[in-house]
Amino acid sequence: MKAIYIQATQDTPQVTLDTQKGIFEIKGNSYPENSAQFYNPIIEWLQELLANGYNNKLVFDFNFDYFNTSSAKFILEILRILEEFQEKNIETLVRWHYFEDDIDIFESGEDYKSIVSIPFELIPRDDTLYL
Amino acid sequence: MSVEISSTNNQPKLPKDTETINQLENLINNLDNIPPEELKSQLQIFAKNHKKLLQEVKLLTSVGDRLQKKIKSANEMLQEQAEEIRKINKDLQDKNIELQFTIDELTKAKAGKRATTIILIFAIALFIVTEVLESTFEAFFKGANMLIIYGFKVFLAVGFKPIEGLLEKAIIAKEMKRQRMELEQQQKSINPKEIINKNLNVPKIEVKNKTNSENLTNETNNANPSYEMTSEDIAKLERKLKRETMKKMGENRE
């Protein structure tokens, strides 16, 4: 399946969805003008992957610095699709990265973890690597 | 499952949200015609969807609350910093006045010293001249009352002090005028905001938020530029100003 690479902008995150390399990652800030427009291709891509019978391990990394409310809804939508992968017995893991001093992102991760029924890891980021 | 996402007024909406309600409405309308088994199954689906929506509402409320809190604290921080900047500005103004007073005092002292030197040179010169021309002087006043001669000498001696004062005033006036002109020139060519930024390496606050209240935050940000000056920075600025003033005074003396 054709990979998706979206460069990060000031208000949209960097997106990497590559089945060949096994990289599934959303990283950066997410407060697009139109969240639906931004996240629609990502959701469609994941649904197509699910429909195509992808059966390798799927590790999805969320590496947000910030996201707005409408992005939060679409993140949940992505997680729901990942749940469907899990339901199809495809090993799925969500890794939610956060800076240790960023309580908001950490708490959001906890909220998502409590909603979805897939393995969900909260991973603190090393601040020094981002200096 | 199709995920066609519609967007109205930039408010993203998944069709699933309305789909659940439509299903329930259909169920109510056809309640009499639905067999109990199917009704149970439909209600189970509805309960499942309702649970999902409830979770979503909880999550969005939680995220929204956090963002609101963040905006509020950012605004509070901006207000605090604006207040701090106002205080710093006032302190700087006070220090400027103090500094100007010190400069004036130094100028006066310098002018006084210069006037005294001039008068001393003048007195020495006069003494030498009178000593050399004493005989001529006495011959000129020959026959005149000695009291007039001494009186004239006393007048000259006593007159030194007011002359010195006048001279000092003239020097001070000249120096003040020069300093005022220099200051005016500096004020024309210097942008204080740039100097502060350049010298103190002032960090900027980044407000990440891009929600509706972003404008409000940015307005506050623009109205009160976000300088973070510590007491150390102020001391640094003061030291620099003093150094420059002393340097200028030294140059003037030379």
The predicted-structure confidence for B193-238, as pLDDT tens digits, reads as follows 665 555 554 444 444 444 444 443 444 444 444 445 566 666 666 6
Confidence band for A124, pLDDT divided at 50, 70 and 90: very high
CB contacts, 8 Å: A104 with chain B:
66-67, 70
> Is A82:A45 a contact under the CB 8 Å cutoff?
no
Q: Does the residue B13 lie in any domain?
A: no
The residue range of the domain holding B242 is: 59-253
Higher pLDDT, B195 or B241: B241
Inspect the interface and report whether the beta carbons of A115 and B59 lie closer than 8 Å: yes
According to DSSP, the β-strands at A92-99 and A58-67 are: parallel
Q: Is residue B17 part of a domain?
A: no
pLDDT of residue B118 exceeding 70, the answer is yes
Chain B partners within 8 Å of A70 (Cβ): 11-12
- How many folded domains does chain B comprise? 1
Q: Is the dihedral of CA A69, A67, B49, A42 positive or negative?
A: positive
CB contact under 8 A, A29 and B10: no
Whole-angstrom distance, CA of residue B165 vs CA of residue B47:
101
Structural domain harbouring A105: 4-130
Mutate to test the interface with B, among A50, A65, A67, A80 (most CBs of B within 10 A): A80
| Number of domain units in chain A | 1
Whether residue B174 has pLDDT greater than 60:
yes
Nearest residue in chain B measured CA to CA from A108: B63
pLDDT at B2: 35
Return d(Cα B213, Cα B210) in angstroms, integer.
Answer: 7
Smallest Cα distance from A104 to chain B, Å: 7
Q: Where would I find the beta strands (DSSP E) of A1-131?
A: 4-6, 14-18, 23-30, 58-67, 92-99, 120-125
Residue A11 burial (10 A CB sphere; 0-12, 13-18, 19+): middle
Cβ atoms of residues B217 and B78 within 8 Å? yes
Closest-approach residue (CA) in chain B for A103:
B66
Q: Given the cut 0.85, state whether the ipTM is greater than it.
A: no
A5 vs B74: CA distance, rounded Å: 33
Q: Chain B: nearest CA to A81, how far in angstroms?
A: 10
Size of interface A-B (CB pairs under 8 A): 70
Domain assignment present for residue B45? The answer is: no
Partner A contacted by B218 (CB < 8 A): no
Reduced 3-state DSSP string for chain B: CCCCCEEECCEEECHHHHHHHHHHHHHHHCHHHCCHHHHHHHHHHHHHHHHHHHHHHHHHHHHHHHHHHHHHHHHHHHHHHHHHHHHHHHHHHHHHHHHHHHHHHHHHHHHHHHHHHHHHHHHHHHHHHHHHCHHHHHHHCCCCCHHHHHHHHHHHHHHHHHHHHHHHHHHHHHHHHHHHHHHHHHHHHCCHHHHHHHHHCCCCCCCCCCCCCHHHHHHHHHHCCCCCCCHHHHHHHHHHHHHHHHHHHHHHHC
Q: Choose among A31, A70, A72: nearest Cβ to B59.
A: A72
Binary contact (A68, B58; C-beta < 8 A): no
Q: What pLDDT sits at residue B245? A: 62
Does residue B10 sit at the A interface (CB-CB below 8 Å)? yes
B56: nearest CB among A39, A65, A76: A76
CATH of the domain at A24: 3.30.750
Min mean pLDDT across A79-83, B149-153, B165-169 is at: B149-153
Residue B49 in any domain: the answer is no
Using CB atoms, pick whichever of A11, A47, A107 lies closest to residue B210: A11
Answer yes or no: do A66 and B12 touch at CB < 8 A.
no
Best of A10, A77, A110 to mutate (most B CBs within 10 Å, chain B): A77
| Neighbour tally for A73: CB within 10 Å | 20
Q: What CA–CA distance (Å, rounded) separates B173 from B239?
A: 28
